[in-house]
Structure 1
């Protein structure tokens, strides 16, 4: 189901694990900062609303979405970090750069998760336009940051 048909901020919370003592790192791309800041705020609020302690939520900024994989790896390798949420936004634009960036980030984050055996969440928007991004960063389609945070919490229940 596409996000055009679903609100990203509506999800089931049945059976969520206790995250009171879990440590999260949210790695945020600075590129498209109006969008990524809204996504960060959504992720942060969702973690707190579901029991994360504010001192256990760290933020790390990277220049753009391409750098999310390395930024996530820096924190995923730390034994005291339970989950990493990568937040970014790559808008289609006039060239195919988005194809290369999005594929690289998706593969990079997957590799980091598997290498360190912990949740590393793809909270990256891949819209065609800025308006589509805004619609998914707290707009009419909810907030992908909320969804990314809930995904991190749910993935922790597997461990």
Structure 2
């Protein structure tokens, strides 16, 4: 279901595992800061609301969404990190740059998750405009950061 028809902050919280002793790394792209900071606020708020300890949430900044994969890998290789959440925003432009970046980031994040056998969550918006991005970063379609946090929590139960 597309986010146009679903609020990203509506999700089932049934059977969530206890996460009070879990360590989360949140990798945040500096590109499109207004959007990524809103995603981070949603993410951290959701983690804290479901029992994560603030001191067990580690934030790392990377220059752009393309760098999320390497940032995630650096954190996923640490034994104390239980899950990594990647937050970014790539807005469609007039060139194919968007396609290359989005494909590389999706594959890179997936590869890191499989390599380290840990949840590495794709919390990257790929909207057509700044307005659509803000709608999904705390606006009328909820917050993808909330969804990314819940996904990380649920994946820890597997």
TM-score scaled to structure 1, two decimals?
A: 0.99
Which residue does 2:111 correspond to in 1? 111
Cα distance in structure 2, aligned partners of 1:18 and 1:98: 38
Which residue does 1:157 correspond to in 2? 157
Which residue does 1:58 correspond to in 2? 58
Cα distance in structure 1, aligned partners of 2:140 and 2:32: 19
Q: Which runs of 4+ in 1 moved over 4 A?
A: none
Once the 2 structures are TM-superposed, how far is the Cα of residue 73 of structure 1 from its aligned partner? 0.2
Cα distance in structure 2, aligned partners of 1:71 and 1:36: 15
Which residue does 2:44 correspond to in 1? 44
Unaligned runs of 5+ in 2: none
Cα distance in structure 1, aligned partners of 2:130 and 2:96: 16
TM-score scaled to structure 2, two decimals?
A: 1.00
Which residue does 2:143 correspond to in 1? 143
Tell me the number of residue pairs that the alignment of Structure 1 and Structure 2 aligns. 158
Which residue does 1:88 correspond to in 2? 88
SS of match in other structure, 2:4: helix
RMSD: 0.3
Unaligned runs of 5+ in 1: none
Which residue does 1:19 correspond to in 2? 19
